[in-house]
């Protein structure tokens, strides 16, 4: 039998913890990798791996408080000492050492400089990915950030309480918080089960949909769809297509006065799609008016009816008419009241009375007269304009 492809298996007794890249800490304080003990490291009580670097590196803390740095070749050198240290976390250049009294000390692993105490009352800590931000979990379950580039100024992370420990996924670029009740929470505040944890469970597969930010969890013949906090909005955006660009846009009311006072501003907050068993759809636009009231306006049975409604100048203006036409307050009052007055322009009269039934032009001693006729059941009104100014009302 050919055993050339058979993998080498190393067996250890008294394992304390297994770290990334096969680093194994034993009860006797020695550190091992690939079946070999790493030279120069004794009485080790904790290891701080840094997997972001392609070459990999790590820091170690001994029982006496000595801090060591090692690169991917396992070349070890001592970089400092912190009395009463119990845990270590490292990034590319710095080691954070947690002491028994809950304080945290920073050690420069690249250059010799004074150690800095940055935090107290800490139960656990990590560096945020490959940044220079140290995250600590306090004994009260709150999470605090200390940015080296800002002289380790402290800042509490909102939305995180009752935290026990933090974990950062370099692969996903996500920060996870293990809560005291055993749940896992992201920075956004949503309780989730990270995909890499689920995939380690026998018989479970996870398919991640990056477009909709949702995961399909396959357990045997069953499937569970897990949505992120962004999924519903992404699904809605995909369903709306180009209409999604209208959300947040503002219009000004012309004749659609059910939404509010004429010429006042309304903003689109949503576009609703109702689906029926027949397969038909209907579209409605949700507006917020100047008084903060939300009003739903039915648009029609197709997406194009939404754009047609909004582009109809009889219903809406895509601009603020008060800013575009800087007329006097008395003129605007007449227009809103549906009144016309001699001297008004054709634009002002058109806004006051609307479009005429017909427009004709005649010649007179005064020049060319433009005549607007408004005709209907029991109605006949006529406006005459010369040079764009209203000269008579019949």
Could you tell me the maximum CA-CA distance found in the chain, to the nearest angstrom?
117
Global pTM reads 0.49
Query: Which is it for strands 66-71 and 57-62: parallel, antiparallel or unpaired?
Result: antiparallel
> What radius of gyration do the chain's Cα atoms show?
36
Domains, the chain, in order of start with CATH, read 15-192 (2.130.10.10), 193-228 (no CATH), 232-322 (no CATH), 325-393 (3.10.450.730)
Q: Distance between CA atoms of 140 and 180, rounded to whole angstroms? A: 11
Q: Distance between CA atoms of 287 and 227, rounded to whole angstroms? A: 28
pLDDT reported for residue 298: 94
Nearest 10 degrees: CA dihedral of 77, 81, 82, 84?
Answer: 90
Neighbours of 196 (CB within 10 A): 14
pLDDT reported for residue 323: 94
pLDDT reported for residue 318: 94
Query: Taking the CA of residue 132 as centre, how many other CA atoms within 13 Å lie in the half-sphere pointing to its CB?
Result: 12
Phi, psi at residue 109, to the nearest 5°? -90, -10
pLDDT reported for residue 360: 95
pLDDT reported for residue 376: 87
Closest CA to 40 of 12, 14, 60, 54: 60
pLDDT reported for residue 189: 45
For the chain, how many residues are written? 394
Bridge partners, residue 251, by sequence = 266
Q: Distance between CA atoms of 198 and 192, rounded to whole angstroms? A: 11
pLDDT reported for residue 201: 47
Grouping H, G, I as helix, E, B as strand and the rest as coil, residue 9 is coil
Strands (DSSP E) contained in 235-280 are 250-253, 265-275
Ordered mean pLDDT values, 10 residues apiece, the chain (394 residues): 58 86 91 91 93 76 95 91 95 94 95 92 91 93 91 86 86 80 66 52 70 80 77 88 93 88 93 91 93 92 94 93 94 94 96 94 86 91 94 92
């Amino acid at each position: 039998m050919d055993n050339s492809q058979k993998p080498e298996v190393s067996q250890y007794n008294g394992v304390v913890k297994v770290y990334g890249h096969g680093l194994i800490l034993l009860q006797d304080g020695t550190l091992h990798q690939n079946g070999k003990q790493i030279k120069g490291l004794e009485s080790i009580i904790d290891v701080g791996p840094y997997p972001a670097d392609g070459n990999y590196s790590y820091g170690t803390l001994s029982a006496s408080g000595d801090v060591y740095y090692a690169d991917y070749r396992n070349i070890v050198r001592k970089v400092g000492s912190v009395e009463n240290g119990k845990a270590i976390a490292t990034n590319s250049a710095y080691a954070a050492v947690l002491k028994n009294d809950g304080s945290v000390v920073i050690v420069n692993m690249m250059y010799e400089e004074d150690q800095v105490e940055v935090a107290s009352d800490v139960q656990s800590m990590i560096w945020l990915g490959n940044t220079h931000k140290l995250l600590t979990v306090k004994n009260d379950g709150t999470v605090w950030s200390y940015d080296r580039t800002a002289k380790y100024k402290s800042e509490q992370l909102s939305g995180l309480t009752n935290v026990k420990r933090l974990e950062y996924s370099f692969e996903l670029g996500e920060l996870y918080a293990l809560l005291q009740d055993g749940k896992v929470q992201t920075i956004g505040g949503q309780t989730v089960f990270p995909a890499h944890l689920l995939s380690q469970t026998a018989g479970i597969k996870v398919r991640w949909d990056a477009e909709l930010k949702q995961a399909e969890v396959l357990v045997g013949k069953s499937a569970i769809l897990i949505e992120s906090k962004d999924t519903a909005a992404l699904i809605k955006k995909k369903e709306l297509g180009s209409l999604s660009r209208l959300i947040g846009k503002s219009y000004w009311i012309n004749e659609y006065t059910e939404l509010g006072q004429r010429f006042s501003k309304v903003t689109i907050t949503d576009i609703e799609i109702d689906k029926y068993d027949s397969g038909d759809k209907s579209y409605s636009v949700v507006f917020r008016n100047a008084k903060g009231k939300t009003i739903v306006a039915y648009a029609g049975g197709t997406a194009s009816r939404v754009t047609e409604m909004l582009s109809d100048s009889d219903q809406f203006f895509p601009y603020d008419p008060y800013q575009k036409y800087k007329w006097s307050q008395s003129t605007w009052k007449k227009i809103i009241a549906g009144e016309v007055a001699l001297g008004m322009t054709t634009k002002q009269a058109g806004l006051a009375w609307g479009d005429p039934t017909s427009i004709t032009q005649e010649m007179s001693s005064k020049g060319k007269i433009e005549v607007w006729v408004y005709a209907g059941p029991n109605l006949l009104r006529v406006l005459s304009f010369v040079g764009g100014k209203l000269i008579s009302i019949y």
